[in-house]
Structure formats: C-alpha cells, structure tokens
Structure 1
Amino acid sequence: MEDLTSLERLGLRVSAMINSPLAQHARRVLVHRMDTDEDQDWRTIMDLLAESDGLDMSFCDDGSVLLQWDAPTDDDQVIEREVELDLVRHEEEAPF
C-alpha cells in the first residue's frame, strides 16, 4: 500500500472535520492549519472549497478558516427522494 501524499492527508483531515456529526448539525466548522501543512496543499484545498456552491469561507487572522453552509433546501431533498425512488424502481425490475 502506498503512503498518502501530504495533499491527500490534508484533504482527508478537512473532509473528516466537515463531515463530523457536530459540524453537520451546526452547519459550520473551523479548520485549523497545522504547521505540517504545506503551503501549496493548503492553497489547493482552499481553492477546491471556494468552488463549492453554498459554502461560505471566512479567513481568520490566525490562519484558520471558518466554513459555513446552509441547510439543504426542499429542492435538494426532492432530488434525493427522486434518486431513492429511482433506485427502488431498479431493484423492483431485477429479474431475480
């Protein structure tokens, strides 16, 4: 098994912070930059986050970034339900 790159490790750490139950409930998380985070990796992750729709980024003086997002709208939930219904239809059509 290959070792993860520093960018992959940072991406996994930020993803885990965003997906934590507390962050999901509050719809916000404070991401701290660690001394071991490479400048290029940090910029890459911040650029990727900046491209995300519905995500507000506030850069703090200490180098951390506050990420905040809105709750899913009714339209988002409808899309999820349509996907679930579509999956159920495909399961019902299975020939076995």
Structure 2
Amino acid sequence: MAGSVAAAGVVAGAAILAVGLAATGSASVVGQRLASAADAGALAAADAASGAVAGVPCDLAAEVAGTFGARVDACDLDGLIATVTVAVRFGPVVAQATARAGPPP
C-alpha cells in the first residue's frame, strides 16, 4: 500500500512539473512573437514615415502587428522615428512590447 501511494505521488509531481514547464515554454513563445510584432510594426511605420513605402504609418504598423496576432496599443511618430506598442492576451494576462525604429543618428 505504501508503494502505491508513493508511486501516485511521483506521478502527480511529474504531471505538475510537466504542466509548469509547458506553461513556461508557451509564455516564452508568446513573448518572442510579441517582440517580433513590435519590431516589425515599428519598422513598417518608420518606412511609411520616410516615404520608402506608401501608406499611413500607424495603419501599416497595425496591419503588420495583426499578422502576428497582436494589436497596436500605441503608435507615435517623432519625425521619421516610430515608436509602436503592441499587446496580446495570454490567458488572463495582457502582455505588451514596445519597439522603436527610424533612421540612424
């Protein structure tokens, strides 16, 4: 009887560990995707602001961020420098990332 209780405890512990590692890995993937969405959105907005591509900068940032499953929370232009903040829901949490792009100084 004691061996079955110990085995059940080991199996439960392994299951809890596996769920925790899966959640951590998933959060890492969402974080990387969110950072990529912010970077790509900022680059698209900066390209539009400089005239390299046609379109409204913040609309292009929203379009590009949407391809990553994110939404643009803020889009600011300071001359040719674009700062874009994107967000995505991950379970009960809303994660945000900000990126900045523009010509070199």
TM-score (norm 2): 0.30
More helix by share: 2
More strand by share: 2
TM-score (norm 1): 0.32
